[in-house]
């Protein structure tokens, strides 16, 4: 098992190197002259030159790349012009909000889509199957920002069940002391049911928006995989041996059908990280996505590049994690590894 | 040819939804062509006396915060939205097919480089990469198309590579080689045309996704500038009014977007059935 993890880690290295190279290139492809940009419109030619030397822009590309990697290793992603803070600190402060939202959406999607896919596969052609197909096709066709707005209209404006789409908590309620940055966890740790409920109420709509978006491919894949497995010889044998239908379905079929679903989760997570940006904008969620957006609109590029790099690193790490989980779920991978 | 038509009619008969989706697609194309002519009002004409009006016989989709007619804006936007998506997919298709086909046919270092580049693109969350590309290249409409094309590139390149790879050693390819065709000619004339059908299916499935991506980028304020009518940016403009109950500003452009994506997805599924009955779900 340890050898598998080690080998998989080694395989992730080219991915990380590629990510760093691309984000360096995106940095260098900035429109205009960064030195002139940093110096401001009133700067003299000498001042611009000085900044150029300070930023290392007068050196060759390989040298600049070495400097960039050195800064990255120190955790230095540059400074945001709009907040005046180091980008790495800004991102770290806002990352928990985004992660809480993404994970809630993912859990919701898996929790609904997997049972739905299984039920649809056990009754092909029944109304539930058709319903699943309609829901999944509609799900991939819905622009995630549009679903969010519809939910806001129905549940905030019409029904008044949800709080206003303005962040993680009301302006009046104080956030719990920060431990993990996940408001739900922090509120629970602080033993503050009031804040917990408020945080949950604010989380529900954005999480459902993300969940609806992620549900479709998961349900589709679960259904297809279950159909394949249920038609296979070993399920027939298990049934013929007189095992309870439940045992056959859950222990034998579902465990095998989940393998492609686990693989798909990596892809889903990639989509979710992107969709997160849109959902954060709709719900004024103070996460990394809305941070990058504000910077992007203000032509403040360091936060955007930092954001792209952090999201890509997260995604590479997640894929690594999924591969390890895969080894746990499927012993065959371990033997081959 | 008549066999293809018969088969097509059979598939549509089996699955009338595909026929409907095809009809909607044609309607969208027609709207993209004639949109500005059939629009009842000038999409940019502001009229503050009639701002924020709910749908009525005079303004079927209502009016927005500066009194522009939403029906006209939604109609006129069709051309721009379809244009962005189609050109991004076409660009992606051409570049991906070329890179993938060369990688699959020549192998060796070409293959290694192409595969590595595609893997690197796939290592990013794709929408996030698109944001980064637009930030780096500049916030213009052309760069939205480029960014959308780049994030779709791996799907086409991988597919072209796999399709070329399985045909590389086929008998008819050996025959073409033995009759003295140069390798590049064998690839272009004998191998590649056989890979086109599955790639066309991929393209039509991809189109919906490309529209969603481009609309997402303009929703967050990239590429298209107001007051240009475009579905994504119109939904963004309506977002501010949804909390005060003016639902029509965001709803109609959103519905148009949904309809287009829904239609492309159904059409893609239908095309796949047409090309490859085994992969029906």
- Determine whether the interchain pair A297/B262 forms a contact, defined as Cβ–Cβ distance below 8 Å: no
Nearest to A212 by CA among A145, A139, A313, A285: A139
pLDDT, mean of residues A11-40: 74
Shortest Cα distance, chain A CAs vs residue B96, angstroms: 18
pLDDT score for A154: 86
- Under DSSP, the state recorded for A176 is P
- Determine whether the interchain pair B250/A149 forms a contact, defined as Cβ–Cβ distance below 8 Å: yes
Nearest to A201 by CA among A115, A104, A111: A104
Query: pLDDT grade, residue B279 (50/70/90)?
Result: low
List, for residues B104-161, the tens digit of each pLDDT value: 888 889 899 998 889 888 888 888 889 888 888 878 889 899 999 999 999 899 889 9
pLDDT score for A162: 78
- Under DSSP, the state recorded for A79 is B
d(CA B140, CA B222): 7
B99 lies within 8 A of chain A by CB: no
Contacts of A157 in chain B (CB under 8 A): 242-245, 247
pLDDT score for A30: 62
pLDDT, mean of residues B168-183: 86
Question: Is the bond preceding residue A213 a cis peptide, omega within 30 degrees?
Answer: no
Contacts of B121 in chain A (CB under 8 A): 22
| Range ranked top by mean pLDDT from A39-53, A111-125, B33-47 | A111-125
Burial of residue B248 (CB within 10 Å: 0-12, 13-18, 19+) is: buried
Q: How many CA atoms lie within 13 A of A302 on its CB side?
A: 23
Interface test with B, best of A82, A205, A274 (most B CBs within 10 A): A274
Shortest Cα distance, chain A CAs vs residue B274, angstroms: 19
d(CA A241, CA A238): 5
The interface pTM score, or ipTM, of the predicted complex is 0.82
CA dihedral A149, A95, A203, B219 (to 10 degrees): 0
d(CA B253, CA B80): 13
B243 lies within 8 A of chain A by CB: yes
B239 lies within 8 A of chain A by CB: yes
- DSSP H stretches of helix in A123-192: 127-141, 144-152, 183-189
Least CB–CB distance from A145: residue in B119, B219, B269? B219
Q: Which of residues 113-172 of B touch A (CB under 8 A)?
A: 116, 119-121, 123-139
d(CA B275, CA B107): 28
As a whole number of angstroms, the longest Cα–Cα distance in chain A is 86
B180-193 burial code (b ≥16 CB/10 A, e <16): ebeeeebbeebbbe
Of A211-220, A221-230, A262-271, A327-336, the poorest mean pLDDT is in: A327-336
pLDDT score for A239: 87
Contacts of B281 in chain A (CB under 8 A): 220, 224
- Determine whether the interchain pair B258/A141 forms a contact, defined as Cβ–Cβ distance below 8 Å: yes
For residue A191, pLDDT beyond 50: yes
pLDDT, mean of residues A96-121: 90
pLDDT score for B281: 46
B240 lies within 8 A of chain A by CB: no
pLDDT, mean of residues A20-45: 71
List, for residues B24-74, the tens digit of each pLDDT value: 888 888 888 887 777 777 777 777 777 777 777 777 777 777 778 888 888
Contact B194, B161 (CB under 8 A): no
For residue B91, pLDDT beyond 90: yes
pLDDT score for B11: 64
B278 lies within 8 A of chain A by CB: no
Least CB–CB distance from B219: residue in A278, A296, A311? A278
pLDDT score for A37: 64
pLDDT score for A32: 57
pLDDT score for B88: 92
pLDDT score for B199: 84
pLDDT, mean of residues A131-139: 78
pLDDT score for A38: 65
For residue A243, pLDDT beyond 70: yes
- Determine whether the interchain pair A152/B243 forms a contact, defined as Cβ–Cβ distance below 8 Å: yes
d(CA A261, CA B114): 27
For residue A180, pLDDT beyond 80: no
B28 versus A54: which is more confidently predicted? B28
Nearest to A175 by CA among A163, A166, A183: A183
Shortest Cα distance, chain A CAs vs residue B35, angstroms: 23
DSSP B24-67: HHHHHHHHHHHHHHH-SS-TT---GGGTTPPP-SSSTT-B-TT-
CA distances from A145 to A163, B30, B141, B239 (A): 18, 27, 20, 9
Q: What is the mean pLDDT of chain A?
A: 81
List, for residues B191-210, the tens digit of each pLDDT value: 888 888 888 877 877 888 88
d(CA A283, CA A155): 13
Residue of A nearest to B239 (CA): A149
d(CA A269, CA A110): 12
Q: How many CB pairs under 8 A join A and B?
A: 156
Least CB–CB distance from B216: residue in A278, A307, A308? A278
Contacts of B120 in chain A (CB under 8 A): 15, 18-19, 21-22
Other C-beta atoms lying within 10 Å of the C-beta of residue A177: 10
Query: pLDDT grade, residue A284 (50/70/90)?
Result: confident
Shortest Cα distance, chain B CAs vs residue A134, angstroms: 11
- Determine whether the interchain pair A143/B132 forms a contact, defined as Cβ–Cβ distance below 8 Å: no
d(CA A237, CA A257): 17
Question: Percentage of chain A with pLDDT > 90?
Answer: 4
């Amino acid at each position: 098992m340890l050898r598998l993890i080690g080998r998989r880690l080694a395989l992730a290295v080219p991915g990380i190197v590629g990510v760093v190279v691309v984000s360096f290139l995106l940095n260098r492809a900035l429109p205009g002259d960064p030195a002139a940009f940093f110096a401001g419109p009133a700067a003299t030619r000498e001042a611009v030159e000085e900044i150029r030397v300070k930023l290392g822009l007068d050196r060759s590309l390989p040298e600049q790349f070495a400097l960039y990697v050195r800064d990255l290793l120190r955790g230095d992603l540059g400074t945001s012009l709009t907040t005046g803070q180091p980008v790495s600190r800004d991102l770290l402060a806002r990352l928990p909000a985004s992660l809480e939202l993404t994970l809630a959406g993912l859990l919701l999607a898996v929790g609904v889509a997997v049972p739905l896919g299984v039920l649809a596969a056990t009754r092909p052609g029944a109304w539930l199957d058709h319903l699943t197909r309609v829901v999944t096709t509609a799900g991939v066709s819905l622009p995630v920002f549009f679903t969010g707005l519809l939910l806001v209209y129905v549940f905030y404006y019409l029904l008044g069940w949800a709080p206003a789409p303005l962040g993680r908590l009301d302006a009046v309620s104080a956030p719990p002391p920060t431990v993990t940055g996940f408001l739900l966890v922090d509120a629970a740790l602080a033993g503050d049911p009031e804040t917990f409920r408020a945080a949950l109420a604010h989380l529900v709509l954005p999480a459902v928006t993300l969940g609806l978006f992620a549900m479709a491919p998961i349900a589709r894949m679960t259904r297809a995989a279950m159909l394949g497995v249920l038609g296979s010889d070993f399920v027939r044998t298990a049934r013929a041996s007189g095992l309870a239908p439940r045992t056959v379905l859950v222990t034998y079929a579902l465990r095998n059908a989940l393998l492609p679903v686990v693989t798909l989760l990596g892809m889903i997570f990639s989509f979710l990280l992107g969709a997160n940006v849109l959902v954060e904008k709709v719900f004024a969620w103070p996460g990394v996505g809305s941070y990058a957006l504000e910077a992007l609109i203000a032509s403040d590029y360091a936060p955007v590049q930092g954001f792209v790099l952090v999201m890509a690193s997260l995604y590479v790490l997640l894929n690594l994690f999924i591969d390890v989980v895969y080894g746990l779920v499927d012993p065959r991978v371990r033997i081959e590894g | 040819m008549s066999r293809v038509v018969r088969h097509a009619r059979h598939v549509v008969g089996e699955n009338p939804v595909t026929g409907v989706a095809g009809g909607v697609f044609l309607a969208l194309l027609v709207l993209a062509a004639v949109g500005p002519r059939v629009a009842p009002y000038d999409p940019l004409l502001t009229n503050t006396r009639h701002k924020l009006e709910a749908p009525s016989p005079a303004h079927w989709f209502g009016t927005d915060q500066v009194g522009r007619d939403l029906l006209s804006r939604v109609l006129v936007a069709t051309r721009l939205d379809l244009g962005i998506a189609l050109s991004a997919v076409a660009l992606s298709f051409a570049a991906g097919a070329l890179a993938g086909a060369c990688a699959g046919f020549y192998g060796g270092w070409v293959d290694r480089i192409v595969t590595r580049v595609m893997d690197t693109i796939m290592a990013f969350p794709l929408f996030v990469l698109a944001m980064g590309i637009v930030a780096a290249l500049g916030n213009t409409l052309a760069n939205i198309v480029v960014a959308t094309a780049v994030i779709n590139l791996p799907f086409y390149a991988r597919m072209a590579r796999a399709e070329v790879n399985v045909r590389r050693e086929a008998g008819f390819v050996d025959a073409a080689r033995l009759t003295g065709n140069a390798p590049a000619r064998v690839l272009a004339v004998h191998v590649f045309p056989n890979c086109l059908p599955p790639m066309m299916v991929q393209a039509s499935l991809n189109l919906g996704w490309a529209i969603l991506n481009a609309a997402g980028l303009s929703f967050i304020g990239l590429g298209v500038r107001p007051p240009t009518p475009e579905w994504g940016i119109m939904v963004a403009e309506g977002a501010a009014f949804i909390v005060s109950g003016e639902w029509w500003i965001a709803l109609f452009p959103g519905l148009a977007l949904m309809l287009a994506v829904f239609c492309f997805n159904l059409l893609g599924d239908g095309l796949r059935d047409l090309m490859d009955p085994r992969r029906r779900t």
